[in-house]
Amino acid sequence: MAALLKDPDRYVKDAVAKALSGQSVWPEGVFKNIVALLKDPEWYVRYTAAEALSRQFVWPEGVFKDMAALLKDSDPFVRGAAAGALSRQSAWPEGVLNLKDVAALLKDPEPFVRRTTAGALSRQCVLSDEGFSSIFLYIDSQSFNNLYDIWLRRSFKEHLAWYGEGNEISYIDMPEGSRKVPFDRFGNAVQ
């Protein structure tokens, strides 16, 4: 079945990637062929490949770089699938993902892409405090509002607490751990 991932027919590649997405563990050759589909000219093949990869708990080296490239895809479904796949990875390798590119999706015109991106950013438990704080260097007030709105909605479903120290620093306690947020820059954005 893995050989069909190289089939010239886009519908065959899409169907095979969907079928393989249900398998919990893939051999290395399947990973290689699915990752190659991330560069397919058809948006739905890229989307399906990203969705299939999102169901794999451990990625071989190099997959993060190819998935990160999809964050700038012209199709919103592909961008959302890439952010979703990244959100399911508990640890992003240092230096592979450009946080500026990820944070840029908080301004995406599509709400589902913004929600998925906020989830991806907030679930990075191994991202250092410095790395998490650096996200706020790349976003504007509107992006912060989008992120805040998503955190607020999450707080109704799971444990999420926000508290502050004066007007400069606030902390958000999430299931992934406590994070420092530079509230001095965005305090006026949240009312």
CB 162 within 8 A of CB 170: yes
Who contacts 53 (Cβ-Cβ below 8 Å, separation ≥6)? 34, 35, 38, 59, 63, 67, 85
pTM: 0.71
Average pLDDT of span 5-19: 79
The tokens describing 34, both together, are: 């699915």
Who contacts 127 (Cβ-Cβ below 8 Å, separation ≥6)? 92
- Give the Cα separation of 134 and 108 in Å (integer): 19
pLDDT tens by residue, 78-129: 999 998 888 888 777 766 677 778 888 888 888 888 888 877 776 665 566 7
Domains of the chain (ranges, CATH numbers): 2-97 (1.25.10.10)
- pLDDT number for residue 73: 94
- pLDDT number for residue 47: 94
pLDDT tens by residue, 24-64: 777 777 888 888 889 999 999 999 999 999 888 888 778 88
- Of 7, 88, 102, 97, nearest to 50 by C-alpha is 88
pLDDT tens by residue, 146-188: 777 777 777 788 777 777 776 667 777 777 677 777 767 666 6
- pLDDT number for residue 142: 77
Q: Residue 75 gets which letter from DSSP? A: S
Confidence tier at 70 by pLDDT (50, 70, 90):
very high
